[in-house]
Structure 1
Amino acid sequence: MAEVDLVNRDPNQINAHLKVAFEDVLAEPEESHSMDCVWKLSYTCFTFWRNCCYRLSTFCCGMCIAMELGCEFASTMFSHVWFITPCLRVCAINCSPYQKLWGVCCNCCVAPICEACGMYFSNIRVNMQKS
């Protein structure tokens, strides 16, 4: 089993859109600035409560959700390995004769017509004259 990377927890950048910093949410225009102490405390409060609520939520629900998702993906893999992929293979095997029949019909009936039309239209010449 591979080790869990405790530093880089999103190596495939699946949740890159969730990187939300204080500056991404709150911004004051040049004309309207609050007092510096309010701005600094707002930053501290935002960061603290974002981290606190996230950690509390993951502590309460994270393991249960991970367990449910593990079961869901196991069920999906089971379905694909034991049902969906074999059914698709059976379908491909059963459709193979029809695919060959369709190819023969196209080559016998449609291909000569297309060749004749191609030969007929290949002799058309278009001359552009300036007036």
Structure 2
Amino acid sequence: MGEQVDLVNRDPNNLNDHLKVQFEDVLAEPEGARSIDCVWKLAFTCFNCWMNLCYKLSTLLCGICIAAEWGCQFAEVAFYHIWFITPMLRMFEINCSVLRKVCATCTGCCIEPCCESCGRIFKSFEK
């Protein structure tokens, strides 16, 4: 609980690199199709103002509740892995090791003598 949140780099693992929401990533005018400079500047200002306002309002109204829900979801995933899935996998490993020994013993008793006999037959063809 003593961890501090990084308020500068909020995506240190680059989870949202695919999400481009800067003005230049969304709107662009090619050569030959240019608006008046004041329109382009005003569009830039309006885009950034409304995007920031709407995003901040959305996160204010919904972000904390959504974060709480995701916290509960990942707590549930951790709970199932710690208390059910990992012990069940360990049980399978233990049971499979016994089954592996049984299969190895049966193979050694039933198939190995046949393979040795065939090997002796074909060894007589050696020069």
1:79 and 2:67 are equivalent in the alignment: no
CA distance in structure 2 between the partners assigned to 1:47 and 1:77 by the alignment: 39
C-alpha RMSD of matched pairs (Å): 2.6
Q: Which residue of 2 aligns with 1:32?
A: 33
Residue identity matched to 1:34? S
Q: Which residue of 1 aligns with 2:111?
A: 109
Unmatched 5+ residue regions in structure 1?
121-131
1:6 and 2:11 are equivalent in the alignment: no
Identity %: 57
Q: Which residue of 2 aligns with 1:51?
A: 52
Contact 2:23/2:48 (<8 A) preserved: yes
CA distance in structure 2 between the partners assigned to 1:97 and 1:52 by the alignment: 63
What TM-score, normalized by structure 1, do the two folds share? 0.77
In the superposition, relative to structure 1, how do residues 109 and 62 fare at CA in structure 2: closer, same or farther (>3 Å)? same
For these two proteins, the number of residue pairs brought into alignment is 118
